[in-house]
Amino acid sequence: MFKGTIVFINYCNYMKYKSFLSITDLSSRELWNLFDTASKLKKEIKKTGKNKEYLKNKVLAMIFEKPSLRTKVSFAIGMNQLGGHALYLGPTDICMGKRESVHDVAKVTSSMADIIMARTFLHETILELAKYSSKPVINGLSDLQHPCQILADFLTILEVKKKIVGIKIAYLGDSENNVAHSLALASGILGTHFITASPKGYWMNKVITKSAMTLAKKQGGSIQEVIDPNVAVQNADVVYTDTWVSMGDEAEKEKRLHVFQKYQVTELLMKKANKDAIFMHDLPAYRGNEVETKVIDGLQSVVFQQAENRLHVQKALMLYLLKINL
């Protein structure tokens, strides 16, 4: 759950390179170009078993305050497939903000690496890294947004549904989290209809909601928040959920398991969506909590295609930020 002060700052004017801190750092056209590049890279490696070494001799520094399977694996393997090298810096390696200031970490790391990816607790940490870095910074996750995940989500939707504009995405559960926030903002940019269903007290941050609605109005999409999950899934093309207990919310575990119980994605609930609706989850998933096992492991689930697409879309993102064309 995001508990800080929301600040939207574009540090690109002060930097040689553009960073990717929020999904709103990319325009609709840039997102579509990114999906196209990711699709080409994916086809290339599926067909030939390798990608061209577009990032030969380039180094990605990966700073982790939080652990992750998909983020670490996808960025490290992606960099390797493009001919570069990924350096992992775990929570105890630099103790960012404690042993060394964020300012100093940014200055030192960007003087040696070509690009930085950071997975942090606070969104303010990502902003500060970008402010003082001389190289592009990628938000691998913060408490406010999870933009890399959402890039993979929309690439998956495009692959399965063959379109993005005009589709309906229903998100159920805890909406005051980074995934819901980035999904809403991306939906606004791309002209998608996005609806969340959550109990009161767990709706999206009001600043995020207002920004997403403003974007959606320009692009012909819509952003809506409701309480009833049955209302949300009506005519949905995508049913999406996330863990009810994110890192940092462990003290509220029992309360959350009770509060969100009726928001579990069940087979019965999926039947209320469109017949060809797909189920999505950013993982890790807790079967029996936010989703029934039969749903996540069923025919409508695309969660592992979704996870794999982190690899392909992040390769496209790194190429874009480093200004390298296919």
Alpha carbon distances (Å) from 322 to 41, 54, 109: 16, 10, 16
Q: In terms of domains, do 180 and 234 share one?
A: yes
Q: In terms of domains, do 276 and 211 share one?
A: yes
Q: In terms of domains, do 168 and 294 share one?
A: yes
Q: In terms of domains, do 155 and 299 share one?
A: yes
Contact criterion met (CB below 8 Å) for 309 and 156: yes
C-alpha to C-alpha distance for 234 and 117, rounded to whole angstroms: 38
pLDDT tens for each residue of 127-161: 999 999 999 999 999 999 999 999 999 999 999 99
Q: What pairs with residue 61 in β-bridges?
A: 87, 116
Q: In terms of domains, do 52 and 134 share one?
A: yes
Task: Please report whether residue 2 resides in a domain.
Answer: no
Q: In terms of domains, do 133 and 195 share one?
A: no
Q: In terms of domains, do 270 and 285 share one?
A: yes
> What percentage of the chain carries pLDDT values higher than 70?
95
Give the confidence band of 249 by pLDDT, cuts at 50, 70, 90: confident
From the number of C-beta atoms within 10 Å of its C-beta (0-12, 13-18, 19+), residue 267 rates as exposed
Task: Please report whether residue 72 resides in a domain.
Answer: yes
pLDDT tens for each residue of 208-231: 999 999 999 999 999 999 999 999
Task: Please report whether residue 188 resides in a domain.
Answer: yes
Q: Phi first, then psi: what are they for 204, rounded to 5°?
A: -60, 155
pTM tops 0.85: yes
Q: How many domains does the chain have?
A: 2
Q: In terms of domains, do 41 and 94 share one?
A: yes
**What's the CATH code of the domain at 79?**
3.40.50.1370
DSSP state letter for 210: H
Task: Please report whether residue 300 resides in a domain.
Answer: yes
Length of the chain: 326
Contact criterion met (CB below 8 Å) for 114 and 135: yes
Q: In terms of domains, do 137 and 159 share one?
A: no
Q: Would you state the pLDDT for residue 82? A: 98
C-alpha to C-alpha distance for 208 and 211, rounded to whole angstroms: 5
Range of the domain at 101: 12-146+309-321
Task: Please report whether residue 114 resides in a domain.
Answer: yes
Task: Please report whether residue 3 resides in a domain.
Answer: no
Task: Please report whether residue 6 resides in a domain.
Answer: no
The token pair that represents 273 in the structure block = 């969506």
Q: In terms of domains, do 132 and 183 share one?
A: no
Q: In terms of domains, do 155 and 294 share one?
A: yes
Q: In terms of domains, do 278 and 313 share one?
A: no
C-alpha to C-alpha distance for 144 and 21, rounded to whole angstroms: 10
pLDDT tens for each residue of 47-104: 999 999 999 999 999 999 998 999 999 999 999 999 999 999 998 999 888 889 999 9
Task: Please report whether residue 7 resides in a domain.
Answer: no
